[in-house]
Amino acid sequence: MVRKIGVLTSGGDAPGMNAAIRAVTRIALNNGVEVVGVKNGYRGLLEETFIPLERGSVSDILDRGGTFLGSARLPGFREEAMQDECVKHLRRNGIDALVVIGGDGSYRGALALTKKGINCIGLPGTIDNDIPGTDLTIGFDTALRTCVENVDKLRDTSSSHHRCSIVEVMGNHCGDLALYTAISCGAEMVITPETGYDEIEVIERLRYLGNAVRKNHAIVIISEKITDVEALAKKVTLNTEFSGRATVLGHIQRGGSPTPSDRMLASRMGEKAVDLLMEGIGGQCVGIIDNSLTAMPIQEALERPKASRKHLYRLFDRLV
Ligand code: ATP
């Protein structure tokens, strides 16, 4: 029987995390279960920074980006001794179960706690869409909107000056943010961990677009951690018809009011997490697959290969 549920946000913050906290809180309270917010991810378990959450504690946060509970990384939480210490703190405060909103690292922490007797449910909260076991993560749609809005603006100025805009977007080794942005913005090229990167090919393609196709501008969307985009832009200027300009969108991608889709996803996933805990289930994570809400063991999700995006890369190629 669950009497008190804790909720925490861990890893990188993402728009929609607040909507998930709100859903967990309201739905648990409506089930007669007490709720506490844990400040700053797993660090809050260690430091026992627990705040009781009432219905009103989560008012006016649905439309706010970030996470009002704060998020943190605590590398020491990988060690059993620290996990045992945290379990002791949870028990001392009467917290029987936990909802963990974060990425795959946070999921591993949730699994460790479940094995130690505290049922945990993981919700995928990250702008990178890099969590296996779900087609979409909370925050991805909002980050995509930010990328698209900014690339649209760059297009206006690029086309006036015969420029090639090279735009670096986030993704943490996952190309989804770049791919979805490229399709949504009608980019000329997309470079991601999935496409691979060959500088000579990029220059040749841009030469072709400038000389043979006579395009007056070009947009290249590239995932972070692939190459130095400033250096690439200089090579574009030296070797093609275009004047190369690099833009790194950076941390603005993490901010902003969550889109309605992210608010819906977070609310639905929050509901599912509480329902699972009320059934006495732990060690699972919630996902959305083919538009249906799912739950699967965290271990299984972590071992799953990420769903293929081949059809979307093919679509991109057919649109240029
Ligand atoms: P993001 O995708 O935004 O990086 P994440 O949840 O993957 O989010 P991590 O930094 O990998 O971010 O993990 C967040 C926290 O989860 C870590 O600081 C640590 O406290 C905990 N954690 C990570 N890996 C493990 C593990 N193997 N065992 C227990 N806890 C872990």
pLDDT of 307 above 90: no
Structure tokens at 128: 């990178």
Can you tell me which residue has the tokens 């206006």?
156
The stretch 11-20 carries a mean pLDDT of: 96
CA of 230 to the centre of ligand 1 (A): 31
Q: Hey, which of 77, 106, 123 would you mutate to test ligand 1's pocket, going by the most ligand atoms within 8 Å of its Cβ?
A: 106
Q: Hey, which of 8, 9, 10 would you mutate to test ligand 1's pocket, going by the most ligand atoms within 8 Å of its Cβ?
A: 10
pLDDT at 234: 98
pLDDT of 185 above 90: yes
pLDDT at 214: 83
Q: Hey, which of 8, 17, 73, 138 would you mutate to test ligand 1's pocket, going by the most ligand atoms within 8 Å of its Cβ?
A: 73
Band of pLDDT at residue 159, cut at 50, 70 and 90: confident
Residue nearest to atom 9 of ligand 1 (CA): 105
Atom of ligand 1 nearest to the CA of 83: 29
pLDDT at 151: 97
Residue nearest to atom 3 of ligand 1 (CA): 12
pLDDT at 274: 98
CA distance 171 to 176: 7
Which residues have CB under 6 Å of ligand 1? 10-12, 42, 73-75, 77-78, 102-106, 108-109, 112, 126, 128, 172
- What DSSP designation does 49 have? -
The stretch 285-292 carries a mean pLDDT of: 96
Residue nearest to atom 16 of ligand 1 (CA): 106
138 forms beta bridges with 125
CA of 7 to the centre of ligand 1 (A): 16
pLDDT at 160: 75
Residue nearest to atom 18 of ligand 1 (CA): 73
Can you tell me which residue has the tokens 């130095």?
228
Q: Which residues neighbour 85 within 8 Å (Cβ) at sequence distance 6 or greater?
A: 46
CA distances from 203 to 155, 199, 208, 210, 242 (A): 19, 6, 9, 10, 10
Number of neighbours of residue 287 by Cβ within 10 angstroms: 24
Closest CA relative to residue 67, chosen from 130, 5, 26, 21 = 21
Please list the active-site residues: 128
Residue nearest to atom 6 of ligand 1 (CA): 103
Structure tokens at 297: 């063991």
Radius of gyration of the chain, Cα coordinates, nearest whole angstrom: 22
Beta strands in the chain (DSSP E): 4-9, 34-38, 50-52, 97-102, 119-124, 163-169, 189-191, 218-223, 243-248, 284-289, 292-297
79-123 pLDDT, tens per residue? 999 999 999 999 999 999 999 999 999 999 999 999 999 999 999
pLDDT at 162: 84
CB 293 within 8 A of CB 138: no
241-284 pLDDT, tens per residue? 999 999 999 999 999 999 999 999 999 999 999 999 999 999 99
pLDDT at 202: 97
The stretch 290-296 carries a mean pLDDT of: 96
CA of 239 to the centre of ligand 1 (A): 42
